[in-house]
Amino acid sequence: MYSLLRLRPSHCRNGLRGSRRRNFAEQNCGCNAFSGLPENRRTVRGSHLLEVRQASINLLFLLGACAILLFSASCSPRHGALTRTQFLLGTVCSLTLYDTVRDDVFREAFDRVTGIERMMSLTIADSDISRVNAAAGTHPAAVSGETLELVRSALEFSRLSGGAFNAAVGPLAALWGIGTDHAAVPAREDIAAALLRTDYTKVSLDTAAGTIFLQEQGMALDLGAIAKGYAADEAARVIREAGIKRGIIDFGGNILLIGARPDGKPWRVGVQSPGAPRGEFLGVLTASDAAVVSSGVYERFFTGEDGQPYHHILDTATGFPVRNGLASVTVVTGSSRTADALSTTLFALGLQAGMKLAEETEGVQALFVTDDKKVYATSGMLAIFRLTDGEYTMDTLK
Amino acid sequence: MESRYVRLKALDRLAAGLSAAVTVFFFWFAYGGADGRALLYIQNESQSLVYPLSGDLDIPVSGPLGVTRIVIRGGAAAVTDSPCRDKLCVSMGHISGRGGWIACLPNRVFLKVDQDSPAGDADAAAY
């Protein structure tokens, strides 16, 4: 402190400007320029200098604190994220990645998804699935190991759900054409004929030969309820292998969360409110390293000539879109492939059976929303979901 | 007896005022302000466009089938016309909340609303 008192005050170093400062200097300064002032004025001058110094230190401290605040803010989820979007898998696919991200990572992840689309797509003539369907009833078709594995997984879900999820729904889905330019309510006899060709037990896999065979002509696989989830899992794998620890994969509303938010908290995922404009949420759930997938009546549908809406989740018992009082089902689990398939499965099973399956399946949380605006959650979902839409109420199964 | 209270001088007040102003600015910069605006991101096969949702705009966007017409009115965006057959994009209505999106897949046009999240908003949206 003593040394501070010995420094020259700033008004002496900088020169005197302005009459007020000059007056102050003339009254209080004891430096050489005003050496005629009494010695006992040095204490007053030193005290003033100390205050100036202290104020400067305070100012620097506070500016430093603000800089730290700014740095912290720069780490918030809104900053430092890069998003890339492509049209793939018949929808809009977005990758939002945090940390330091090379463009190569986006390209590699999208290339991986493109590769999956080339194998699994129904609209690409030489995809594995198209070739399997074209060879139905005549001969087995050679496919990649990946396609074989995903079809095996889809058949497991088909068995698990007793056909509520049906990997062989292709003929019925093609007949309805929901999501295409030719969507229409088919004739009942056409539906009946299509249903005869949706028996998933007549899909034969030969792992050793690497082939899939559909035993009856006219059968067709449709992996639309699982391939998008699988592609998200694979994109996440590519991203994680590149060292990215946080991000959001959004494939047409199928969400896969990588890590947690940059502030360490779980991601917040809004669940679409059925019937409301897209982006209006029923509620928000929090999760990290998890897939969040919804299936509902509101996403892909058309309005028939009878004025009724017809959605895309088809019941292979009736041949018509599932009508069981559910408006949507949202599944949270570790794998996007599982979440994708289970959301369709649980929806098709209905509230009671779907809730039972969800509660019995380890690591799966589910949210059921009914047409009469009631929301039912598995026990695990209750801990992570918060209802925000006042038109809906939480309820429990009796 | 010396007073226990520090008497603030002009520079102290200046330092405190300046620090408060800088702090408020940083909070505004980090958690609100310009970043809190709702923005409409439009993407087609060749370009990405960004518009504030606060204005009134008519935006024609070209795609392989023709022109998709997008409007921004009253803080919301919608597709009013597109050269696709089933017009699902038009039937989606208006979007205004963060994460809301509309896609015209046949014409390869994608709209998405994004904004920095005020408290209570979400990082992603599951449909």
CA–CA distance, B111 with B104 (Å, rounded to integer): 9
Q: What is the three-class DSSP state of B125? A: strand
Cα distances (angstroms) measured from residue B40 to each of A388, B73, B94: 24, 12, 12
Q: Tens of pLDDT along A302-351?
A: 777 888 888 788 888 899 998 999 999 999 999 999 999 999 999 999 99
Q: Is B28 on the interface with A (CB under 8 A)?
A: no
Domain contains B10: no
Higher per-residue confidence, A396 vs B34: A396
CA–CA distance, A110 with A116 (Å, rounded to integer): 10
Sign of CA dihedral A292, A298, A302, A308: positive
What's the total number of domains in chain B? 1
**Chain B residues within 8 A of A70 when measuring between CB atoms:** 26, 29-30
Up-side HSE of residue A239: CA atoms within 13 Å toward CB? 31
Chain A: residue whose CA lies nearest to B78: A277
Domain contains B22: no
Residue A70: what pLDDT?
52
Residue A393: what pLDDT?
94
Domain contains B7: no
Residue A282: what pLDDT?
93
Chain A: residue whose CA lies nearest to B83: A181
Domain contains B60: yes
Residue A385: what pLDDT?
95
Domain contains B98: yes
Class of domain A123-214: mainly alpha
Kindly determine whether residue A70 and residue B117, on different chains, have CB atoms separated by under 8 Å.
no
Q: Tens of pLDDT along A34-63?
A: 344 444 554 555 555 556 566 666 666 556
Domain contains B4: no
CA–CA distance, B120 with A212 (Å, rounded to integer): 48
Residue B118: what pLDDT?
39
Residue A22: what pLDDT?
40
User: What CATH number corresponds to the domain at position B73?
Assistant: 2.60.320.10
**Chain B residues within 8 A of A92 when measuring between CB atoms:** 101, 103, 105, 110, 112
Distance from the B115 Cα atom to the nearest Cα atom in chain A, whole angstroms: 9
CA–CA distance, A208 with A397 (Å, rounded to integer): 46
Residue A356: what pLDDT?
96
Q: For residue B42, give its domain range.
A: 35-114
Kindly determine whether residue B11 and residue A52, on different chains, have CB atoms separated by under 8 Å.
yes
Show which of residues 78-107 on chain B sit within 8 Å of chain A, judged by CB atoms. 84-86, 88, 92-103, 105-106
Kindly determine whether residue B26 and residue A69, on different chains, have CB atoms separated by under 8 Å.
yes
The model carries a pTM of: 0.69
**Chain B residues within 8 A of A291 when measuring between CB atoms:** none
Residue whose pair of structure tokens reads 């170093």 in the numeric block: A13
Kindly determine whether residue A253 and residue B127, on different chains, have CB atoms separated by under 8 Å.
yes
Domain contains B120: no
**Chain A residues within 8 A of B23 when measuring between CB atoms:** 62, 65-66, 69
Residue A48: what pLDDT?
59
Mean pLDDT calculated for residue range B57-83? 92
Taking 50 as the pLDDT cut, the residues of chain A under it are: 1-39, 42, 71-79
Domain contains B21: no
Region A266-394: CATH code: 3.10.520.10
